[in-house]
Structure 1
Amino acid sequence: MSPVQAVTSAFRQYATFRGRATRPELLWFTGAYLVATFAAATVDTLVFNVALGWYGVAPFMLLVIAASVVPMTALAVRRLHDSGRPGTYYFMGLIPLAGPVLLLIALLAPSDPLPNAYGAPRGGAAAGFVPGYGYQQV
């Protein structure tokens, strides 16, 4: 999945908490989010802090964050579904200290190659899968 396809897919499924999302989709969207947040913070600093002298004002960064909260949460829940975990695992991130690490491990876990309770894998990954033997040439 290309970066443009990943970001487009995440915003197209803006508030869809059902289904599955691949690991590259999550990683590309997170990377694009970080780049957009950094760019917005840079513009805010140059325009509002340096040029106008209004310190502590960051409207562009807040806009990027506000526009990305729901798609990022929905994408993380769909990614948890892809590895066979329920979306309530997302609240694991609220546990102090260990929670964010456990959530990151769950988000980066390998995908379930077979259809699970949340749907079939994207891209037809189960085509050559034989239970107990892994992928075989068919």
Structure 2
Amino acid sequence: MNFQTAVKTCLIEKYAGYSGRASRPEYWWFILAYLIGGVLVSLTGSTVLYLAYMLAILSPAAAAGYRRLQDTGRPGWYIFVPIGLAIVAMILTPATPTVPDGQIGEMGNMGLLAIIGVVQIVVALVFLWWLTRPSQPETNQYGPPPSR
């Protein structure tokens, strides 16, 4: 599968399709397109345009990761674990404290955020490992191997 076919498959044919399997080339070519698009949109400097891009691409990116995990024999819903951790970290991130000079502000959540940060790094490495594994060559519980 080449770059154009992978992007077409993920954005048009399987935009929000969470069933089946996705090959390594399909997933990684799509992720490359996702990153390139994100960089190009961020260069415009428009926060609204960047937010619209991220919301539009969220479903196909999650669906591609879901199908990719299923291709390796793992439950696809696992792809939502790092997303959930990111949401928890965003909710717990304190605003920049405003304290008078020479005083230390309230840092109650900083220890918890450090732990969540370490957990996020470990989870990211595990998912990177899983997403780079070869496809199961035979039919698994999620369907037949994807056509290459």
Letter in 2 for 1:87: G
**Partner secondary structure for residue 96 of structure 1:** helix
Could you tell me the TM-score, scaled by structure 1's length?
0.75
Which has a greater percent of helix?
2
Residue 106 of structure 1 corresponds to which residue in structure 2?
130
1:84 has 2:55 as partner: no
Counting aligned pairs with the same residue, the percent is 36
Structure 1 residues 66 and 27: CA distance shift in structure 2, 3 A: same
Residue 47 of structure 1 corresponds to which residue in structure 2?
none
Counterpart pick for 2:49 among 53, 60, 85: 60
Aligned partners of 2:77 and 2:33: how far apart in 1?
25
Residue 41 of structure 1 corresponds to which residue in structure 2?
42
Identify the structure with bigger relative contact order (alpha carbons < 8 Å, sequence gap 6+).
Answer: 2
Q: 4+ residue stretches of structure 1 with deviation over 3 A? A: none
Equivalent residue runs for 1:1-138 within 5 Å? 1-11=1-11, 12-44=13-45, 57-93=46-82, 94=85, 95-123=119-147
Aligned partners of 2:2 and 2:128: how far apart in 1?
22
Residue 113 of structure 2 corresponds to which residue in structure 1?
none
For the aligned residue pairs, the C-alpha RMSD in angstroms reads 1.5
